[in-house]
Amino acid sequence: MAAASFTAAKFLAPVAARSGGERAPPLPAGASSSSFARTLRRGGAHHPRLRTALAVSSDVLAGNKAAHAAASNPAVTREEALELYEDMVLGRVFEDMCAQMYYRGKMFGFVHLYNGQEAVSTGFIKLLNQADCVVSTYRDHVHALSKGVPPRSVMAELFGKATGCCRGQGGSMHMFSAPHNLLGGFAFIGEGIPVATGAAFAAKYRHEVLKESGPDGLDVTVAFFGDGTCNNGQFFECLNMAQLWKLPIVFVVENNLWAIGMSHLRATSDPEIWKKGPAFGMPGVHVDGMDVLKVREVAKEAIERARRGEGPTLVECETYRFRGHSLADPDELRKPDEKSHYAARDSITALKKYIIEENLATESELKSIEKKIDDIVEEAVEFADASPHPPRSQLLENVFADPKGFGIGPDGKYRCEDPKFTQGTAQV
Amino acid sequence: MLGAARRQLGSGPMLGQVLRRLRPAAAAARGYSAAVKEMNVRDALNSALDEEMSADPSVFLMGEEVGEYQGAYKISKGLLDKYGPDRVLDTPITEAGFTGIGVGAAYHGLRPIVEFMTFNFSMQAIDHIINSAAKSNYMSAGQISVPIVFRGPNGAAAGVGAQHSQCYAAWYAHVPGLKVLTPYSAEDARGLLKAAIRDPDPVIFLENELLYGESFPVSAEVLDSSFCVPIGKAKIEREGKDVTITAYSKMVGYALQAAEVLSKEGISAEVINLRSIRPLDRDAINASVRKTNRLVTVEEGFPQHGIGAEICMSVVEESFEYLDAPVERIAGADVPMPYAANLERMAVPQVDDIVRAAKRACYRAVPVAATA
Ligand SMILES: Cc1ncc(C[n+]2csc(CCOP(=O)(O)OP(=O)(O)O)c2C)c(N)n1
Ligand SMILES: [Mg+2]
């Protein structure tokens, strides 16, 4: 890989300045003295020099509770700011409603809420086009919402209703929406990463072999996953292939410091996840995931790189979940001061403050957005509640794209042609 | 996903308190003649782990959240405090990696217990379970044995959708070199887990999340630290003469309930708790079928190439001339588990399904399922 084709230095400069805050003053270009950069230089002249950005975990390691420096000049227009605000509030209000509905027995199983991490979903997904893909985990409701899946169809899915985005067949951990190119919530650790990499492969193939892509460049895939997932082999395997084949993908780590009750620091030998990008020859970026504008800036650069065909980027977003791992988690291991440290950095409150300080909108305009979202979520619940349960016949549908996959019955006909099949009473 | 349903959290007592918390059985309804106490399955598993770890320092436990979190389902509660982090290891989320490490440790003199947070996740480790654990005693001509236990909850949970609700009994039972155990009661859980840990071969130990909180009568013998249940032996949970029902894990409870319903209608069902799927107790199954002349197999997993198919074949091979009716198989629906509660209920066997199958086997008229 030639250094010239690798824009990391250019790319990392603004990032280091932003994400480092007081913890990591940006180093002047070419003057990097980090052991990491030294290692790279020792490793061979064909590696670009990378600047460091201190990772999230350094904050925790040092017990440093310093607030981050705010961005200096407005990075977004009024319209953009309001779009971001609306999307983040939607994510928050929707998830709070899910908790209520879960405790009322309207939804069941494992429900993993996204509260606290909104800046990541909004910061990335609001930059994507319809044709771009999102691949998520079991913590997927809000990624679905940001990608444009209507709140009522996500809520109905959670209620297990026939009007849900997967007709009640998928559930909380498995949101799919083909029209929105939401390629799934994957419930197993790591398994979404290769699938996302495959979608990026397809985008490149369609562009180069089938000559299908639009004038803007490649369709981009964004894969979201947690810190705990970065210890899983599939992550490393895909970093390698994505860079090897220069695939249009952004790997977004939502580092909320915990994997259920396992602290990130107890689970990984080097807690700075972003460093694993350069180890595979791609840029690795650390960003404050509680600041939607910083996330958005990093996301923009990474998505554009991917779109231009320059390959993947690994982005580590330092964030925090405000609730337990799932609604069944007693959440006994996280310390109250850690929780309050991050609660004080709530990304929605911060954006609100920024919007008002920069005179992008008034308090009452923001209030009316909040009101609008409350109504939308309320309506989603009413819709889900009033929707029908899936009919019995649905049990045997969709196992195969070709229903003949159920084979031939004793009468010599395809089982799916037996009327009992659609009534759901067939023995298959 | 974190499976600890709220009702289960915190209900496991600390080790050492286990015995003190034993309550006298209200009614020995399940037919344990010597039953004097009750124990839930969680405590049964916890006490078995504790006793075997204390008896043999080469036994250690590894898996996700087994230590500081006390187990996603609290099965390992108290063990970290008692045995320390050298013997109770919290692993990163890397099933392929830590399972392989467990197997390697078993090659080299230790007796690992690998906990899968649920058996679903063992799919990421299946290469090591099958290639590294199951085959090496054979490949090495007996030089390398692999005394390891893979354990964790298996089978359908509630409302967790297709990826988290699946029974692996048939998957692992397919493989030469593995032993596959499926406890139902507290007695099974304690006795089989202790046997598994002492066994010189790789054992797949399939628990059931929905049974962890269930209490069963246990005799003084079961509570003794020397207690073991032999691997490869089924247990007749209820004697009967008209029809044999085989089941394992949670389905044993359903089969017992079905037998109760059937008895009111004059059908005497014999319920066999398989306990061990591999080796399979063909003798016990065939002896029962020779007595009742009818067979219903019950399993929660998918029907094709499943446990019922194997049992049916065993009976066809050994007792065909004793059969008075076609063998009935009750299994999960041949679809990935749906999320919606009403569809989910249709996708897993219910007590009614077992009752109807038994009646069909006994040539009683059965109304078709009418519920939607
Ligand atoms: C292969 C696999 N192993 C174990 C689990 C159980 N599990 C679900 S979420 C989780 C923790 C994930 O942590 P992280 O990647 O940091 O994501 P977060 O939940 O914090 O968003 C674990 C261990 C799983 N889903 N898949
Ligand atoms: Mg995490």
Return the pLDDT at A414.
86
Point out the residues of B that are catalytic: 95, 164
Length of chain B: 372
Q: B203-234 burial by CB neighbour count: b if 16+ within 10 A, else e?
A: bbbbbbbbbbbbbbbbbeebbeeebbbebbeb
Q: Estimate to the nearest angstrom the gap between the alpha carbon of B103 and the chain centroid.
A: 22
Are both A267 and A284 inside the same structural domain?
yes
With a CB cutoff of 8 Å and minimum separation 6, the contacts of B255 are B237, B245, B246, B247, B269, B271, B298, B354
**Mean pLDDT for all residues in chain B:** 91
Q: Give the A window 131-190 contacts with B, CB below 8 Å.
A: 138, 157, 160-162, 166, 168-174, 186-190
Q: Between chains, do A109 and B158 touch, taking CB under 8 Å as contact?
A: yes
Mean pLDDT value of segment A261-280? 98
Does the structure show a pLDDT above 90 at B56?
yes
Assess contact for B91 and B98: CB atoms under 8 A: yes
Q: Estimate to the nearest angstrom the gap between the alpha carbon of B57 and the chain centroid.
A: 26
Q: pTM above the 0.80 mark?
A: yes
Determine, yes or no, domain membership for A428.
Answer: no
Above pLDDT 70, what percent of chain A? 81
Query: What does the alpha-carbon distance between residue A325 and residue B171 come to, in Å, rounded to a whole number?
Result: 30
pLDDT band for position A245 (50/70/90)? very high
Determine, yes or no, domain membership for A211.
Answer: yes
Does the structure show a pLDDT above 60 at A112?
yes
Assess contact for B48 and B190: CB atoms under 8 A: yes
| Maximal C-alpha separation, chain B | 61
- The CA distance from A30 to the nearest CA of chain B, in Å, is 36
Q: Give the A window 345-384 contacts with B, CB below 8 Å.
A: none
Mean pLDDT value of segment A253-263? 98
Does the structure show a pLDDT above 80 at B95?
yes
For A313-339, what is each residue's pLDDT tens digit?
999 999 999 999 999 999 999 999 999
Residue A66's Cβ-count burial label (10 Å; 0-12, 13-18, 19+) is exposed
Return the pLDDT at A45.
33
pLDDT band for position B369 (50/70/90)? low
Rg, Å, chain A Cα set: 23
Rg, Å, chain B Cα set: 20
How far does the centroid of ligand 1 lie from the alpha carbon of residue A346, in Å? 23
Above pLDDT 70, what percent of chain B? 89
Q: State how many domains chain A has.
A: 2
Q: Which among A213, A164, A138, A170 has a CA at the least distance from the CA of A380?
A: A164
Q: Whose CA is nearest to atom 11 of ligand 1?
A: A259
For B344, the closest chain A residue by CA position comes to A395
Mean pLDDT value of segment B173-178? 98
Are both A410 and A374 inside the same structural domain?
no
- The CA distance from B174 to the nearest CA of chain A, in Å, is 22
How far does the centroid of ligand 2 lie from the alpha carbon of residue A320, in Å? 8
DSSP-derived letter for residue A106 is: S
For B15-40, what is each residue's pLDDT tens digit?
333 333 444 444 434 444 554 799 99
A268 lines ligand 1 (CB under 6 A): no
Are both A286 and A343 inside the same structural domain?
yes
ipTM exceeding cut-off 0.90 for this assembly:
no
Q: Which residue has the higher pLDDT, A406 or B335?
A: B335
Are both A379 and A253 inside the same structural domain?
yes
Are both A152 and A298 inside the same structural domain?
yes
pLDDT band for position A427 (50/70/90)? low
How far does the centroid of ligand 1 lie from the alpha carbon of residue B2, in Å? 8
A189 lines ligand 1 (CB under 6 A): yes
Q: Which among B212, B98, B199, B196 has a CA at the least distance from the CA of B151?
A: B196
Sheet holding B23-24, edge to edge: B23-24, B37-40, B215-218
Determine, yes or no, domain membership for A89.
Answer: yes
Does the structure show a pLDDT above 80 at A3?
no
Are both A176 and A36 inside the same structural domain?
yes
For A336-353, what is each residue's pLDDT tens digit?
999 999 999 999 999 999
| Residue A386 neighbours by CB distance under 10 Å | 11
* CB-CB neighbors (< 8 A) of A396 in chain B: 333, 335
For A161-204, what is each residue's pLDDT tens digit?
999 999 999 999 999 999 999 999 999 999 999 999 999 999 99
How far does the centroid of ligand 1 lie from the alpha carbon of residue B1, in Å? 6
- Look at the block and give the residue holding tokens 């990075």: A75
A259 lines ligand 1 (CB under 6 A): yes
Query: What does the alpha-carbon distance between residue A278 and residue A294 come to, in Å, rounded to a whole number?
Result: 21
Q: Which among B261, B272, B173, B253 has a CA at the least distance from the CA of B214?
A: B253
Are both A36 and A149 inside the same structural domain?
yes
| Residue A166 neighbours by CB distance under 10 Å | 22
For B181-199, what is each residue's pLDDT tens digit?
999 999 999 999 999 999 9
A227 lines ligand 1 (CB under 6 A): yes
Determine, yes or no, domain membership for A288.
Answer: yes
Determine, yes or no, domain membership for A402.
Answer: yes
Are both A401 and A275 inside the same structural domain?
no
Return the pLDDT at A272.
98
* CB-CB neighbors (< 8 A) of A174 in chain B: 161-163, 339
Are both A338 and A417 inside the same structural domain?
no
Helix (H, G, I), strand (E, B) or coil at A196: helix
How far does the centroid of ligand 2 lie from the alpha carbon of residue A318, in Å? 10
Query: What does the alpha-carbon distance between residue A90 and residue A148 come to, in Å, rounded to a whole number?
Result: 11
pLDDT band for position A419 (50/70/90)? confident
**Mean pLDDT for all residues in chain A:** 85
Strands B111-115 and B59-63 turn out to be parallel
Are both A255 and A172 inside the same structural domain?
yes
pLDDT band for position A12 (50/70/90)? very low
The backbone torsions φ and ψ at residue A312, rounded to the nearest 5 degrees and listed phi first, read: -80, 165
pLDDT band for position A58 (50/70/90)? very low
Query: What does the alpha-carbon distance between residue A128 and residue A219 come to, in Å, rounded to a whole number?
Result: 9
Assess contact for A145 and A151: CB atoms under 8 A: yes
Helices (H), A189-282: 192-208, 233-244, 264-267, 276-279
For A264, the closest chain B residue by CA position comes to B92
Query: What does the alpha-carbon distance between residue B306 and residue B248 come to, in Å, rounded to a whole number?
Result: 13
pLDDT band for position A409 (50/70/90)? confident
For B113-132, what is each residue's pLDDT tens digit?
999 999 999 999 999 999 99
Return the pLDDT at A411.
87
Among A56-60, A176-180, B93-97, B328-332, the minimum mean pLDDT is found in: A56-60
AA letter at A187: A
With a CB cutoff of 8 Å and minimum separation 6, the contacts of B135 are B177
Query: What does the alpha-carbon distance between residue B42 and residue B113 come to, in Å, rounded to a whole number?
Result: 16
Domains defined along chain B, listed by start: 2-223 (3.40.50.970), 235-371 (3.40.50.920)
Determine, yes or no, domain membership for A155.
Answer: yes
Tokens representing B267 are: 């059908």
- Look at the block and give the residue holding tokens 């209507």: A150
Segment holding B98, helix H or strand E: helix B95-107
Mean pLDDT value of segment B134-141? 98
Of A187, A232, A262, the CB nearest to B1: A187
Return the pLDDT at A61.
37
Tokens representing A255 are: 């580092």
- Structural domain boundaries enclosing A411: 392-423
Q: End-to-end CA distance of chain A: give it in Å, rounded.
A: 54
DSSP-derived letter for residue B235 is: E
* CB-CB neighbors (< 8 A) of A112 in chain B: 1
Cis peptide bond upstream of B279, omega within 30: yes
Segment holding B277, helix H or strand E: strand B276-278
Query: What does the alpha-carbon distance between residue A349 and residue A221 come to, in Å, rounded to a whole number?
Result: 29
Q: Between chains, do A169 and B339 touch, taking CB under 8 Å as contact?
A: yes
Query: What does the alpha-carbon distance between residue B293 and residue B243 come to, in Å, rounded to a whole number?
Result: 7
Q: Estimate to the nearest angstrom the gap between the alpha carbon of B276 and the chain centroid.
A: 8
Q: Whose CA is nearest to atom 22 of ligand 1?
A: B1
Tokens representing A86 are: 């609306």
Tokens representing B361 are: 């086997």
Ligand 1, from A110, A142, A260: best to mutate by most atoms within 8 Å of Cβ? A260
Q: What CATH code is carried by the domain that includes residue A269?
A: 3.40.50.970
Determine, yes or no, domain membership for A10.
Answer: yes
Determine, yes or no, domain membership for A231.
Answer: yes
- The CA distance from B218 to the nearest CA of chain A, in Å, is 30
Are both A396 and A376 inside the same structural domain?
no
DSSP-derived letter for residue A315 is: E
- Look at the block and give the residue holding tokens 């399904």: B353
Query: What does the alpha-carbon distance between residue A35 and residue A298 come to, in Å, rounded to a whole number?
Result: 24
Tokens representing A343 are: 């609660």
Q: At what angle do helices A363-386 and A78-103 cross, to 10 degrees?
A: 40
Mean pLDDT value of segment A358-369? 97
Are both A314 and A414 inside the same structural domain?
no
Q: Count the helices and strands in chain A (H runs, E runs).
A: 16, 8
